[in-house]
Structure 1
């Protein structure tokens, strides 16, 4: 996405010298595919063209499976070099630490960009790069990833900083959060926050530490396994045994359920000099099967004062764990009580980051790249101007709404679909921008993400942005063996805003 008007430089070396960069990153390995890979490549190419008048001033190396190559994946054409890697599920390719490190070394890459999904939140990857490669990791440190990657640990840090959290089994556990020192959550802290056995669970219920309905969750669970909602005392023991049986050996914690809430999140940028900046908030409440489908910003469900508190809480948490690069702090917002609660931290760039890019007029993948080069935030175009506006309390007079385009069949319980794309016709405008991981003549294969595109609309108001997005979706043509009809999005976007007076 376009940022502020950049200066032009004759070369990357000149840019680095002029901005006091510590490290030169000339060649980047994109350790991803699909939407993540194409978005990073487009962002870097645009910045290079604007800054150096040479779209290839930064060289891009791509990993390519046989399935992606045969599917005509869009990102491949943006790469200067490609490395063919084994096909099949991602543990053989994009999520394989060994494959990524080997490729980084083979192509003498200066850095690795992880994107989202696959290996992006595996703290072992930056550790191995540090130990076995000269390539640096474009993302937070492995120590920070450990501190926030575990929901139990990150919740302990949040409540230790007096950030509101939902009542849970570990509500009494706190750690020291001294300034300029990484908050340390030990295995003992985590053990104390979890449930020892059924008797301990009943004790928590009797002492009103958790109240019905509450969630029992296995810390090592995922994909719908190891999670149960406990609605009354009679079901507590059975739910505990089901959770412990599904994810054997895992720690289990309990947390109150919050109903009638919105899912809000704050975009964070941090540099290596200790500065952490909250870059606005997004509302990602509209989801299907716990997957976001519509995102927008700024949120209209809460007033600006609460959103500011939300952003400051996110920045406070990230400072406590020495957060570096881009990340997202997620919250639940209880509409009736007008209160927010910490949910989790995603130690990576998120799919919906473009919502924030359009609100703040910046290029976030390139901001990640420049942070990794050692630039402070106030030297990064787009981010610098945003910080100046934020300091002056100048609000952005715009609203952004996004819709994910997914290859799922709405008439068959939204099951993922695969197959060839014979026609894909998307018409952008001054109000609408979008990108696709596959286009006309391409194919959606069985191992790729069902999301094949993302469309973003901007307006002066929410109503205007919604109108632009709906018009774009109605004219979007996708014809072929897949099913990606946007009719459900059209219906969801007619949800009324929750703040009176919003136009």
Structure 2
């Protein structure tokens, strides 16, 4: 009897659990508090103490042993590319790791070792070197010219990658890539980005002896090197694709590859130049569209390959496949606010906040759902988008017999999609704008296309999402919110407002340090309280009526006692634009002398880690740090709107 531990979460965990269930395998899920929807699809579930446990080899091996599992599937991310996990499993006993051998993982999970392998086999790569300092990056760039691209050896999902166009940007980019690399190792290579360059990847499957391909995908629609829209197959000719497929098979054969793997490349449609990028030795996020055009369950095949005696031939996956006769598109719906530079938009999502498309050729892979073992999940069906994980909410996958048909189906599916309510924002308008853009239809997308055209794409997307749909959902949410809270706010409602310092007497008869005001709601323009409330008020604060708009922040909640809020009307007060973990502080924030507290415009005051990506809060102008905000120190979770520091621009020292 086979028993599988899925060492992952979210939609990919559900995807794996479903395929295992169809095979008759018993399943075990692992989960953390407030993130257990995938566990409802497993026969058994084990709660982890912290999110960090997903990355602890000893914890995963221990759980697999305690639950008598025969196999572990790592999904993607977390420990999926770690040679340490299969080696620990081999030492612990007979638990089988569903993935390549440790030796293959050593090479494929290290971008430099993969490049070296490609070179040894005569596969094209971009020129590059491993670097240990920003000075070495500058030296490399001076030899080949800018732009160059800095990459973490173990980055992924857009993390640990920065393009540098000029020497002045090297220092900051190097620090950010180093900070996003778990191993603190980076390399630099010639940047092949922009017009003409497409991101092409080949799906490989192997049984440890034989290898085969299942054609390619194009993943050029990217933001900060994070894929957003993928298509299979590409619109390139089969003749143009064949050398890339041949290179993938050569690399995979050398590695005696077993399981699923994706071999990634850059291809220039103008010059026909192409280079190998990296190997992803695991199931890929966008494996879904390869499944659709090849009519194969890749995860099922992957599981079966780790039963002794199973081969590609026995799974009918050994002959080279015929060229695809259909097309598939995957659209990644994420909890991000495009109007705020794609900032993460955390918050709760209820079942009433979700509406998925359906119909022939439409598939949804998401963690915003409940499985048959609902007793293992929270009692009330709902979900929480936090800051600990990736922002992916769902993958909308569509299939059609032609490129035009699949594009039309994608457009229709997006119109039928709604996720978020009033708390969580999504990138759905960006997805719709991409599909509606003329460059999509003419195949003129390159790896930096979205970043160049983001404003136009968002404008197109906002037109594509029906206004009446958005209005209906907003009205529905407002009614639901008001009914749930039991609060009906009407124009003319009168409030008595009492303000006093925290910890003082709450007695209405107390007079010390208490301010009393009267407030009347004259008009209400929007009532979706507590998410949003707007209108006009008459108060004893001012003799004139005031317009107001109160909106609930989409940032994760952080203890208000630990920090202080910045005055957003005071330019000297630097506020955190998002919620994140402080991983780096400018020395000026803790310096004693006035001279040491000097900062220059654009310098990093604090660096915040959000979803394992580093975001910089910069000094708004030259000046001196007058004081640091309450609670500001490395390692703490800083809330949106919290005061980072106060910078006095009038006291710029001679050092500036």
Measure the CA separation in 2 of the matches of 1:244 and 1:485. 29
- Residue in structure 2 matched with residue 131 of structure 1 by the alignment: 91
Question: Is the CA contact (8 Å cut-off) linking 1:29 and 1:104 kept in structure 2?
Answer: yes
Residue among 88, 91, 97 paired with 2:52: 91
Measure the CA separation in 2 of the matches of 1:205 and 1:33. 40
Measure the CA separation in 1 of the matches of 2:57 and 2:134. 36
- Residue in structure 1 matched with residue 7 of structure 2 by the alignment: 31
Question: Is the CA contact (8 Å cut-off) linking 1:398 and 1:459 kept in structure 2?
Answer: yes
- Residue in structure 2 matched with residue 11 of structure 1 by the alignment: none
Residue among 406, 417, 423 paired with 1:476: 417
- Residue in structure 2 matched with residue 496 of structure 1 by the alignment: 440
**Residue by residue, what CA displacement relative to the aligned partner does 1:226-277 show, whole Å, maximum 9, x if unpaired?**
7664546xx28x83697379749966543111122111111110102x1011
- Residue in structure 1 matched with residue 252 of structure 2 by the alignment: 318
Question: Is the CA contact (8 Å cut-off) linking 1:278 and 1:312 kept in structure 2?
Answer: no
Question: Is the CA contact (8 Å cut-off) linking 1:220 and 1:247 kept in structure 2?
Answer: no
Measure the CA separation in 2 of the matches of 1:246 and 1:303. 35
Gaps of 5+ in 1: 1-24, 49-56, 170-192
Measure the CA separation in 1 of the matches of 2:135 and 2:405. 53
**Residue by residue, what CA displacement relative to the aligned partner does 1:255-314 show, whole Å, maximum 9, x if unpaired?**
111122111111110102x101111100111112321111111001x2111212111111
**Residue by residue, what CA displacement relative to the aligned partner does 1:180-201 show, whole Å, maximum 9, x if unpaired?**
xxxxxxxxxxxxx657995896
- Residue in structure 1 matched with residue 327 of structure 2 by the alignment: 399
Measure the CA separation in 1 of the matches of 2:393 and 2:307. 31
Q: CA offset at residue 316 of structure 1?
A: 0.7
Measure the CA separation in 1 of the matches of 2:60 and 2:288. 26
Residue among 256, 259, 262 paired with 1:328: 262
Question: Is the CA contact (8 Å cut-off) linking 2:134 and 2:170 kept in structure 1?
Answer: no
- Residue in structure 2 matched with residue 177 of structure 1 by the alignment: none
Measure the CA separation in 1 of the matches of 2:159 and 2:409. 39
Q: 1:27 to 1:457 in 2, by over 3 A?
A: same
Measure the CA separation in 2 of the matches of 1:269 and 1:454. 22
Q: CA offset at residue 398 of structure 1?
A: 0.3
Matches within 5 A, 1:444-463: 444-446=384-386, 447-463=388-404
Instruction: State whether structure 2 residue 367 is matched by structure 1 residue 437.
Output: yes
What is the DSSP-based 3-state SS (H/G/I as helix, E as strand, rest coil) of the residue aligned with 2:306?
Answer: helix
Instruction: State whether structure 2 residue 8 is matched by structure 1 residue 41.
Output: no
What is the DSSP-based 3-state SS (H/G/I as helix, E as strand, rest coil) of the residue aligned with 1:258?
Answer: coil
Q: CA RMSD in A?
A: 2.8
Measure the CA separation in 1 of the matches of 2:342 and 2:131. 35
TM-score where L is the length of structure 2: 0.60
More strand by share: 2
Question: Is the CA contact (8 Å cut-off) linking 2:218 and 2:233 kept in structure 1?
Answer: yes
What is the DSSP-based 3-state SS (H/G/I as helix, E as strand, rest coil) of the residue aligned with 1:333?
Answer: strand
- Residue in structure 2 matched with residue 243 of structure 1 by the alignment: 174
- Residue in structure 2 matched with residue 378 of structure 1 by the alignment: 313
Measure the CA separation in 1 of the matches of 2:282 and 2:413. 29
TM-score where L is the length of structure 1: 0.77
Q: 1:198 to 1:325 in 2, by over 3 A?
A: same
Q: CA offset at residue 44 of structure 1?
A: 2.7
Q: 1:379 to 1:228 in 2, by over 3 A?
A: closer
Measure the CA separation in 1 of the matches of 2:154 and 2:258. 26
What is the DSSP-based 3-state SS (H/G/I as helix, E as strand, rest coil) of the residue aligned with 2:4?
Answer: strand
Q: 1:131 to 1:470 in 2, by over 3 A?
A: same
Q: 1:252 to 1:483 in 2, by over 3 A?
A: closer
Q: CA offset at residue 330 of structure 1?
A: 0.6
Measure the CA separation in 1 of the matches of 2:131 and 2:326. 44
Q: 1:397 to 1:141 in 2, by over 3 A?
A: same
Q: CA offset at residue 317 of structure 1?
A: 0.8
Measure the CA separation in 2 of the matches of 1:278 and 1:389. 7
Q: CA offset at residue 410 of structure 1?
A: 2.1
Q: CA offset at residue 469 of structure 1?
A: 1.2
Q: 1:225 to 1:325 in 2, by over 3 A?
A: closer
Larger Rg: 2
Question: Is the CA contact (8 Å cut-off) linking 2:137 and 2:188 kept in structure 1?
Answer: no
Q: 1:304 to 1:222 in 2, by over 3 A?
A: closer
What is the DSSP-based 3-state SS (H/G/I as helix, E as strand, rest coil) of the residue aligned with 2:39?
Answer: helix
Q: CA offset at residue 370 of structure 1?
A: 0.9
Q: CA offset at residue 218 of structure 1?
A: 5.6
- Residue in structure 2 matched with residue 180 of structure 1 by the alignment: none
Measure the CA separation in 1 of the matches of 2:207 and 2:62. 28
Instruction: State whether structure 2 residue 210 is matched by structure 1 residue 275.
Output: yes
Question: Is the CA contact (8 Å cut-off) linking 1:227 and 1:243 kept in structure 2?
Answer: no
Measure the CA separation in 2 of the matches of 1:241 and 1:65. 34
- Residue in structure 2 matched with residue 299 of structure 1 by the alignment: 234
Q: 1:424 to 1:245 in 2, by over 3 A?
A: closer
- Residue in structure 2 matched with residue 337 of structure 1 by the alignment: 271
Measure the CA separation in 1 of the matches of 2:267 and 2:288. 22
- Residue in structure 2 matched with residue 426 of structure 1 by the alignment: 356
Measure the CA separation in 1 of the matches of 2:55 and 2:270. 41
- Residue in structure 2 matched with residue 3 of structure 1 by the alignment: none
Q: CA offset at residue 42 of structure 1?
A: 2.1
Q: CA offset at residue 414 of structure 1?
A: 1.7
Q: 1:396 to 1:194 in 2, by over 3 A?
A: same
- Residue in structure 2 matched with residue 81 of structure 1 by the alignment: 44
Question: Is the CA contact (8 Å cut-off) linking 1:221 and 1:247 kept in structure 2?
Answer: no
Q: CA offset at residue 340 of structure 1?
A: 1.3
**Residue by residue, what CA displacement relative to the aligned partner does 1:9-58 show, whole Å, maximum 9, x if unpaired?**
xxxxxxxxxxxxxxxx610001111011111122233x43xxxxxxxx21
Measure the CA separation in 1 of the matches of 2:249 and 2:362. 30
Measure the CA separation in 2 of the matches of 1:230 and 1:409. 26
Q: CA offset at residue 449 of structure 1?
A: 2.7
Residue among 132, 136, 140 paired with 2:100: 140
